[in-house]
Chains A and B, each alone.
Chain A
Amino acid sequence: MSAGAPARTHPDPTLTSLDIGHPVYAAILDPKTAFWALVDKGRVADTLAGGALRDAYRRHADACGRELHALRFELKPSGVYLNPTERCNLNCRYCYLPEAQRRSGGHMSADQLLASLGRLRDYFRSIMPQGRKARAIFHGAEPLMNRDAVFAAIEAFAGDFIFGVQTNGTLLDEAAVRFLTARNVSIGLSLDGPCADVTDATRRTWSGRSVHDRVLGAMSRLRGYDAWSVITTCTIENLPHLSAMVELFHAREVPTCMLNAVRCTLSGARAIRPDDRAMARAFFAALDRTHELYRESGRKLVVANFANILIAIRAPTARRLMCDISPCGAGRAFFALSADGSLYPCSEFIGLPRFDGGHLLADGGVEAALASDAFNAVSGRNVDTFSPCGECAIRHFCGSPCPAEAHEMGGRMGNTGAFCEFYREQVKYALRLIADGEADDYLWDGWDEGTETLFDLAH
């Protein structure tokens, strides 16, 4: 990881402006430290030239720079994504895992999964503050294809990890929901459409059968539980339906959703990739709809991937998702364990053998993987060092995701990901909400508990 010392802020920091499309406000930014301020559009030139805001920022610039440096280069892992099987019962068009693995790959045995978690527990105990548990998330392919092993592991290590399961939802029957909710396991589902026709365009079984109704059944079983979410992967197939999607989620009391632009790591995903502008239009219409629903009902549906950008602006260290920071969280805030026992920087890299960091149960284990060339290639991807990101004013709000996508699309790490313009528009939208005093409406209540105010400059 190329870190270097924290940047010492120049006594006269370099500020730049950004038109955020607001009738009154423009943004003033120091891209190096992720500092931002919103000023009257008529005063941008004066503010850049000097004055009270610049003087006030100068007093906090070093603290901002140190904080961002620590977030970007000084974290230790506190989470692991566990892939207990290579198999999936669905054949989604955009999956980042190779088809051969998903169709006929192997399970990790219960014994190996338990041994792996024991090794991981010991590793996390050695690096995490006492009393803080690591997160362990069972992840795709479809983890519930290997349900007995997964549930045995959750039972055996309940005191050592905060567990989560990301599942397609088709195997989440009553017994599974009872088991997982009784143990406070966080559960993520996936659904791509408000009706079967739309979901079926991207997510079906290998034989082509619809799974839409089965996922709705799982959502019904989870209603009233706090710790669950649904991911919608946004493609050309469902873009016109995103507002209807959030209406469905809100009606079914989904606490949190993600509306993710499809990851274009493998070619199947690129074939259904939406245009940035169309993506932004549909995404913002869906966000606006969540806000209307909140105003009507008093109940929020948090769109987590957007909420994370709002948080990245207001409290960079409080962000929950680690994709939108550079280096991203892969291979430094978390890593992934594949079903064959190999370690990868992130699940997105499973299926790309050059990013295999070695076997968890081999000598060296996690430490060897973190130091491997495979991991360093990812954790060393630094948005400051390649163009055009290195010159971009919002690079530390978006992080230029994702390294797997950038590498597979462009053949090297020093590329932007697939949705540069979409991210830029999200940041501008977020700053407009802040200008209008509405940002909290898009975040869960109490999002800033445990934070302190570093500065609040207003005049």
Chain B
Amino acid sequence: MTPTGFKLDKASEKVFDKILKDSGLAKDEISYAISTGYGRHMVPYRDITVTDLTATARGSNYFFPGTRTVLDIGGQTMKASRLDEKIKVKSFRLNDKCAAGTGAFLEKTARYMGYETEEIGPLVQTSKEDVPISGVCAVFAESEVINQLSLGSAPSDIMHGAMSSLVKRAIQLLKRVKMESQVTLTGGIMRFKTMIDVLTENVEEKINVPKGDMVQFTTALGAATLALQRLEKIKAEA
């Protein structure tokens, strides 16, 4: 995993080199490549591309075959989708035009209080109560955070409030796609146990979360499972 930055092709080559090194495989042992995500068209070694909604649906189904709804929250997007029994995306809603519905909102809230992104998880784990944060706008959240700090609220509780605010937005998206059980959660934001706890408290459907690092790799894994399927089809037709 590497920060994408603005040279998307370089980032994709960097992860390719690293994973070859980690796996001990040679480049020519990779027979098929599928790229996905925001920069999928910039991957020089790709055979085909698929949308991140399709890849995340596949990855979610790999771990939890009963998945019918996916909620994916990353650093800059929030996506909810509903799947059919053939793992096709039937309905989706995105929140990709506003930082308030993404991980960037948590990062900004942390920064206003003097914390780094990697401190969010440990910080929120010490929260004792949920301080209301409107989450209407990531920029205006600064004054809200400063106000709460001046009232004596603990940074951990403010961060908890920011997560609750994010969950409220997520639930709006889930309702708009008419969520069905089971709901699988993916994306970097799902590394935070408090996010999972708040979502579980507010969503009646059964919730699944891929274990450990896989929560961030679900989309890449989904692309890989599609690549395997495609390669086997090509071989069968040859």
Q: Do A and B bind each other?
A: no
